[in-house]
Chain A
Amino acid sequence: MAVDTVTLNIIHNALTNIASEMALVMLKTSYSTIFNEGLDFTTVLLDREGDLIAEKNYTPSMMGAIPHTVKWAVDEKGLDHFHPGDVLVHNDCYRGGCHLPEHMMMRPIYIGDRLFGFAGNIGHVAEIGGKAPGSFAADATDIYQEGLRLPPVKLINRGEYVEDVWRIVLANHRTPRNTWGDFHAMIGSLATAERRMQELCERYPIELIEEATAELKNYSERRLRAEIAELPDGEYAASMLVEDDGVTADPFEVKVNIVIRGDEIIADFTGTSPQVRGPMNCTVVVVASAVYNAVFSMTDPHSLIPRNSGCYRPIKFIAPAGSVVNVVHPGPCVGGNTDLQPKLIDLLFKAFSLALPEKVAAATGGSSSNFLFGGTHPETGAYYTNYHFDGHGTGGTIQKDGNNAEITRHSNCRNTPVEVFEGRYPFRTLEYRMMPDSGGAGEHRGGLSTTRTLEVVADEITLSCLFDRAKIPGWGIFGGESGGLSQLRVKRVGDNEFISFMEAYHTISPSKFTNILLKRGDIVRYVTPGGGGYGDPYLRDPEAVLTDVENGWVSLDAARNLYGVAITEVDGDFVIDSSTTETLRSTRQAVTAA
């Protein structure tokens, strides 16, 4: 049965809409802010082989993971393991999970008694036990400190709760009510998918839909291969140092060699450091996500090619097992997903910059700036935890400045509004703004990072943080400067000034620590990292520098010293001093020429 183009489009849109509705169900019915404010989840439809056929891609880091995760679960358990009404869950990072907090659920979709495929979703469950409230132990040395690990197991069997599994889960999460709510949001999303697929099959024969999905995969593959074929063949290598793993102060190295051969791309991470003791390792599907993210940015930045398993076929990756880009048991990995993955994408861009300078960006802040806390709420007496993250700066590009205050490009998440944050948790927000001079100088400046100052308004709060780029900044390219560093500082009651957590609590890392006990009146201030600049800052339009100064984004000193633009303040207005600017810029030109 041939599928005409119009029908193909209708079926493609119908499948995509089902994935979107699945996401809405999760958004509207979940309990925790990481779901309903942060949008830290993704929903998909897969065929019976476990191939992706449609997605609602809120979180690109899950996009690359879930086709592998579902397929491997199907392969491991076998198709005969599944029955109508089943829901299977797993968060095993050695079996395709991104890190332990992210739980994948899948439900077989039956049309009558015929298995059509699977509905799947991944969501970041805010609290899953382990040594730190919020399940982000920045000094974890093995997986068992990071929370409860579930291999693929059924939560629902033929429509009935598997009570023993639920009891184990709810007994090991610190905030079981949230887990109950968020798990049911995920389960409801899957049920919606099956219902909508059954409705679609009332309009079109299932055989036609199966043929359409096969053709859609082939179409996406053809489109992506054509895009890759346009790229210059060759090998493009890059490396980077990552500042520490949270357990030791030592940096580690990640290397990549990108091979473009005809209509295929290989991203080879051979030579990367062995897995580290702390939780900065990432899982193999995190690498897959980073590679897909970078390749799609080079080949299809506006997402015109339908995202399904077909467009993954031309992309290969090599992530040696036991290295920091493919952790094996019992290595910890919670920070690899959030804080190594964005830097992997930066690194891939760095390698691509050798071939495609017009398509890449300078490095981002490269950190999700994970801020986790918990305690007993002073108003309700209930135990609470929260996983909070904040935006950083992205890198400048050939076309424009980097974005300010953007949550990492692998997550696409939203920040939590101050009103929601304060309404739920005992912190008072004293300050939340963009950080001046945090964007790396460049012809196109790096994006600005954010700073937030929070006062504890409970007797105690237990705080854990997993930030990065406190020592090694995000790089600029083609003459651009590095972005600003992250900072975490505290002013304890009785102190006169803010000091680092290393000074206050003797942490090994300035940006990664676990279970610091804050007291009422203590104030925490953090700064997220900024993006790197693109191109020589002395080529930046002086008017653009003036606008930055007027916005409070670039200081007068930086304008002069980094951009060679002299600006003076006259009656409250900023004015460019043209002759001094010309002198500054021509002097630098002369020095450079000499």
Chain B
Amino acid sequence: MKVSTPVGTWVEIKRSWHDNTLTNCALCGRLVPRMIWMVEFSEKSLPFCNEECEGLYRSYWLPKYEPTADSEQPTGSLS
């Protein structure tokens, strides 16, 4: 079984008090209030709640809905 290694980095959201923008996790849709697990993927930056959401995105969501995408490509993998 292949196990994806998370490749994201923690990024702190810095917004001024009058900025009403909000960020949602690219997988589960939950609010990410301050610390984003940011993953560069297919030339896009995807915000996740944490490594767990990134892992689920790779192990479940991508193979199910975008099976042609190379879901393992940006990660290291363990056999």
Chain A residues within 8 Å of B, Cβ to Cβ: 68, 72-73, 75-76, 78, 94-96, 151, 259, 266, 268, 270, 284, 287-288, 316-321, 323, 325-326, 328-329
Chain A contact surface mostly: mixed
Residues of A within 8 Å of B30, CB to CB, are 68, 284, 288, 319
Give A201 Cβ to nearest chain B Cβ, in Å. 29
A318 to B33, Cβ gap below 8 A? no
A96 to B31, Cβ gap below 8 A? yes
B22 to A284, Cβ gap below 8 A? no
From B20, B31, B34, A284 is in contact (CB under 8 Å) with B31
From B31, B56, B64, A316 is in contact (CB under 8 Å) with B56
Can you name the residue of chain B whose Cβ is closest to the Cβ of A316? B56
Residues of B within 8 Å of A326, CB to CB, are 24, 29
CB-CB under 8 A for A318 and B61, given A94-B22, A266-B56, A329-B22 = yes
A95 to B31, Cβ gap below 8 A? yes
Chain B residues within 8 Å of A, Cβ to Cβ: 20, 22, 24-25, 27-31, 33-35, 56, 60-61, 64-65
B65 to A270, Cβ gap below 8 A? yes
Give A152 Cβ to nearest chain B Cβ, in Å. 10
Residues of A within 8 Å of B25, CB to CB, are 321
Residues of B within 8 Å of A268, CB to CB, are 60-61
CB-CB under 8 A for A95 and B24, given A259-B60, A319-B29, A320-B29 = no
- Tell me, in angstroms, the Cα distance from A73 to B34 when the chains sit together: 10
Can you name the residue of chain A whose Cβ is closest to the Cβ of B21? A329
Residues of B within 8 Å of A317, CB to CB, are 28
Instruction: State the total of A-B contacts with C-beta under 8 angstroms.
Output: 56
Residues of B within 8 Å of A151, CB to CB, are 20
- Tell me, in angstroms, the Cα distance from A251 to B40 when the chains sit together: 37
B28 to A319, Cβ gap below 8 A? yes
Give B44 Cβ to nearest chain A Cβ, in Å. 15
Give B48 Cβ to nearest chain A Cβ, in Å. 12
A270 to B31, Cβ gap below 8 A? no
A318 to B22, Cβ gap below 8 A? no
B24 to A328, Cβ gap below 8 A? yes
Residues of B within 8 Å of A72, CB to CB, are 31, 33
- Tell me, in angstroms, the Cα distance from A395 to B60 when the chains sit together: 32
List 8 A–B pairs whose Cβ atoms lie within 8 Å, in order of A's numbering: A72-B33, A316-B28, A320-B29, A321-B29, A323-B29, A325-B29, A326-B29, A328-B24
- Tell me, in angstroms, the Cα distance from A318 to B30 when the chains sit together: 9
From A76, A288, A319, A328, B34 is in contact (CB under 8 Å) with A76
Name 4 extra pairs, CB < 8 A, besides A68-B30, A270-B64: A259-B60, A284-B28, A316-B28, A328-B22
- Tell me, in angstroms, the Cα distance from A73 to B31 when the chains sit together: 10
B34 to A75, Cβ gap below 8 A? yes
From A75, A284, A288, A321, B33 is in contact (CB under 8 Å) with A75
A318 to B65, Cβ gap below 8 A? no
Can you name the residue of chain A whose Cβ is closest to the Cβ of B28? A318
A318 to B31, Cβ gap below 8 A? no
- Tell me, in angstroms, the Cα distance from A286 to B29 when the chains sit together: 12
Give A410 Cβ to nearest chain B Cβ, in Å. 19
Residues of A within 8 Å of B29, CB to CB, are 284, 287, 318-321, 323, 325-326
